[in-house]
Chains A and B, each alone.
Chain A
Amino acid sequence: MKFARTIGAALAAVVLAAAPAWADMTDHDGPGEPPKPFEDLKPSERPAPSSDEAGLWMLADRAEQQIKTSGAVVRDPAINAYVRGVVCKLAGPYCGDIRVYVVRHADYNASMMPNGVMTVWTGLFLRTTNEAQLAAVLGHEIGHYVRRHAVQRQRDLIDKAGANMIVGSMLGAAGIPAGPLVTLALIGSVYSYSRDNEREADEVGARLMAGAGYDVREAAALWTNIVAERKDDDEEKSKSVFFATHPEPEERQAKLEALAKELNPAEPVRHEPEFRAVFALHLLGYLRDELNLRHYVKFGNLLDRIENENPAPGEIKFMRGEMYRLRAKEGDDKKALESYTAAEGLHGAPHELLRSLGVVQSHLGDKAAARESYGKYLELEPDAEDREVIRVMIKQDE
């Protein structure tokens, strides 16, 4: 076993040494010359049709065709105008090159295709607390576009896979079955390249934020929110590909704080009321999407964080009740009942609260109270789609 491990370590060293050597061979123009710096994409530039980059753009153009007609794309004009506006403040001359698609999707993510198609998941709007934080994410994505990370990554992968193949074949010919080991080294190496891209995008994003007058410290603050949400959630940490391809949040946070010291404008802005005005009406819907993922630890952390900042406390207390009702562990019906009771009458509590309240009252044996809650729900929502179901539930509780 020990022998095998030593051989393994030696092979890994060979492969890891081989990958950069191969990359060096292809990146240089001639012997002894330093590698060319990778140039930014220019405003309204399209890659030459014969280039490898044009192939990536072609695939992205097709993907955009599909995204355009997707039912998941948010059509709300106010949201679209707002997000697009922030992109343009940041992107300046690149504004016209970037198309933003807001996608109704739980969880936080945004992505950039090589051709300027940016997608932003609605779950992100639960994590950003002001416009500057949103700008941090959008600026990061613009960084991927301007720095042409897609083609950089493809070239890196091709180089490394080539080295992987050559080393693998040579070892194979020598009778050493190194397949999985070589592949593992390849994946690790590709991921590390991807993390370098992320660091660069963070930096470009911070510069764009500063240029548009935003408070760059908010980029670091966003990561505080993300870290708080992952607290006690071990499952999430080990499973997510996101954290393999991206640097650790703590590292990004520290780097962004340092950048803020260096770059922040004299009177940095956060635009919190503007941000709230656009998304206030939609938060309940986004929270429902989030709860549908059934990541109760994360969801609880998320509610804890936004409870104090949310101007509609009835929404948060109602959703906390929903979390307990759906988790349905021992004692959760009681906790749900407490949350619903606390939410009742508060700003933002929806009518469905009465239906949920009825369900937990019925579970807890208080049939009369359950019938009353269902009845009130039907009074307030006489045309509710589930009215017939509720009538049956009232009968069952008689």
Chain B
Amino acid sequence: MIRFAAALKRAAPVIALAFLVAGCATQGPFATAEKLDRRAADLKIVLMPPDITLSELTVGGVQEVNAEWTASAKTYAQQALQSFLQQRNTQLVAYKEPENAGAGHMHEQLIKLHEAVGGSILLHQYFQPLQLPTKKDKFSWTLGDEVQALGRDEGADYALFVHITDSYSSPGRVAAQILGAFIGVGIPGGVQVGYASLVDLRTGEVIWFNRLARASGDLRKPDAARATIDVLMSKFPS
């Protein structure tokens, strides 16, 4: 049961895309503030280890994960995020694993917690039939104030979490799509789904959240990766 719930959370972006296509999803992004709190002289956002997976969609529709594409996509995404925020006068630093094992364990738990919360936001905030009565008119999600320790360890005011799953049709799949078009069978290609969220490390609140769900985009190339990040970061508080 637990495993099923975890799988459901993990599949949430895909489910969200299905609902988007089906037309019963609400639109993001969601934000509790338009501006970042700039009381700190040098405001810092820590980019948590980005959860990015690129795979090839085979002829039969199996997603074959590609480690090489994934590694370069992580680099391109991080560079694109860095320049996006630099233009907005905000510094993005990469997450550093603490030397203290206890602190590392705690960070890992927060990453897991965020995954659970992010999955819940996708299911309950974007998909109207599952909307929670207590969150009907407001966007109010938090990881709790234990995130303060993360802020201290990383020397950051906010944490940015990024999850992207991207798939591309294999040459065989493309051939099947063309063939399919001839004989009147629609064969879907790859999709780019994911989400990003910004957490205030003083309060634990999720202050901005956006979902990505589209049938285009390519994280395997730097320019296209920048375009994806621009879409993902839309209405990001400055």
* A contact set with B: CB distance below 8 Å: 49-52, 54-59, 62, 65-66, 68-69, 154, 157-158, 160-166, 169, 172-173
Nearest residue, chain A, Cβ from B59: A162
Cross-chain contact B60 with A161 (CB below 8 angstroms): yes
Can you list 15 A-B contacts with CB-CB less than 8 angstroms, sorted by A residue number?
A49-B68, A52-B64, A54-B67, A55-B67, A69-B108, A154-B64, A158-B58, A158-B60, A158-B62, A161-B61, A163-B60, A165-B61, A166-B176, A169-B183, A172-B183
Assembled-state Cα–Cα distance A161/B62 (Å): 7
- Beyond A52-B64, A55-B55, A58-B67, 16 additional contacts (C-beta under 8 Å) are A52-B66, A55-B64, A55-B70, A57-B67, A69-B112, A154-B62, A154-B64, A157-B62, A158-B59, A158-B64, A161-B59, A164-B60, A165-B61, A165-B176, A169-B180, A169-B185
Residues of chain A contacted by B53 (CB below 8 angstroms): 58-59
How far, in Å, is A277 (CB) from chain B's closest CB?
30
- B105 interface hit (Cβ, 8 Å): yes
Cross-chain contact A69 with B62 (CB below 8 angstroms): no
Residues of chain B contacted by A56 (CB below 8 angstroms): 65
Contact with A along B47-82 (1 / 0, CB 8 A): 000010101001111101111101100000000000
How many contacting A-B pairs (Cβ < 8 A)?
71
Assembled-state Cα–Cα distance A37/B167 (Å): 31
Nearest residue, chain A, Cβ from B109: A69
- B171 interface hit (Cβ, 8 Å): no
Given A158-B60, A158-B62, A162-B172, CB of A173 within 8 Å of CB of B67: no
Nearest residue, chain A, Cβ from B182: A173
Residues of chain A contacted by B68 (CB below 8 angstroms): 49-50, 54
Residues of chain A contacted by B65 (CB below 8 angstroms): 55-56, 58-59
Contact with A along B154-191 (1 / 0, CB 8 A): 00000000000000000010001001100111010000
Cross-chain contact B71 with A173 (CB below 8 angstroms): no
Residues of chain B contacted by A58 (CB below 8 angstroms): 53, 65, 67, 70
Residues of chain A contacted by B187 (CB below 8 angstroms): 165, 169
Cross-chain contact A173 with B59 (CB below 8 angstroms): no
Cross-chain contact A69 with B105 (CB below 8 angstroms): yes
Assembled-state Cα–Cα distance A157/B65 (Å): 14
Residues of chain B contacted by A55 (CB below 8 angstroms): 55, 64-67, 70
How far, in Å, is B182 (CB) from chain A's closest CB?
9
How far, in Å, is A182 (CB) from chain B's closest CB?
11
What 9 A-B pairs have minimum CB-CB distances, sorted nearest first? A161-B60, A55-B65, A54-B67, A162-B59, A173-B183, A162-B60, A69-B108, A58-B67, A165-B60
In chain B, positions 101-156 with a C-beta closer than 8 Å to chain A are: 105, 108-109, 112
Cross-chain contact A172 with B185 (CB below 8 angstroms): yes
Assembled-state Cα–Cα distance A162/B185 (Å): 15
Residues of chain B contacted by A57 (CB below 8 angstroms): 67
How far, in Å, is A147 (CB) from chain B's closest CB?
20
How far, in Å, is B91 (CB) from chain A's closest CB?
27
Residues of chain A contacted by B176 (CB below 8 angstroms): 165-166, 169
Residues of chain B contacted by A165 (CB below 8 angstroms): 59-61, 176, 187
Residues of chain B contacted by A161 (CB below 8 angstroms): 58-62
How far, in Å, is A180 (CB) from chain B's closest CB?
16
Assembled-state Cα–Cα distance A135/B112 (Å): 33
Cross-chain contact B108 with A68 (CB below 8 angstroms): yes
Residues of chain B contacted by A50 (CB below 8 angstroms): 67-68
Assembled-state Cα–Cα distance A87/B216 (Å): 47
Cross-chain contact A65 with B108 (CB below 8 angstroms): yes
Assembled-state Cα–Cα distance A158/B65 (Å): 12
Assembled-state Cα–Cα distance A109/B91 (Å): 48
Which one, B58, B64, B185, contacts A173 given CB within 8 A? Answer: B185
How far, in Å, is A227 (CB) from chain B's closest CB?
27
Residues of chain B contacted by A65 (CB below 8 angstroms): 108
Residues of chain B contacted by A166 (CB below 8 angstroms): 59, 176
Assembled-state Cα–Cα distance A389/B148 (Å): 38
Assembled-state Cα–Cα distance A66/B53 (Å): 16
Which one, A49, A52, A163, A173, contacts B184 given CB within 8 A? Answer: A173
Residues of chain A contacted by B64 (CB below 8 angstroms): 52, 55, 154, 158
Assembled-state Cα–Cα distance A276/B70 (Å): 46
Assembled-state Cα–Cα distance A162/B171 (Å): 13
Assembled-state Cα–Cα distance A69/B103 (Å): 12
Residues of chain B contacted by A49 (CB below 8 angstroms): 67-68, 71
Which one, B59, B112, B179, contacts A66 given CB within 8 A? Answer: B112
Assembled-state Cα–Cα distance A158/B61 (Å): 8
How far, in Å, is B236 (CB) from chain A's closest CB?
26
How far, in Å, is B162 (CB) from chain A's closest CB?
14
Nearest residue, chain B, Cβ from A68: B108
Residues of chain A contacted by B71 (CB below 8 angstroms): 49
How far, in Å, is A73 (CB) from chain B's closest CB?
11
Assembled-state Cα–Cα distance A158/B68 (Å): 19
Assembled-state Cα–Cα distance A54/B185 (Å): 33
How far, in Å, is A191 (CB) from chain B's closest CB?
16
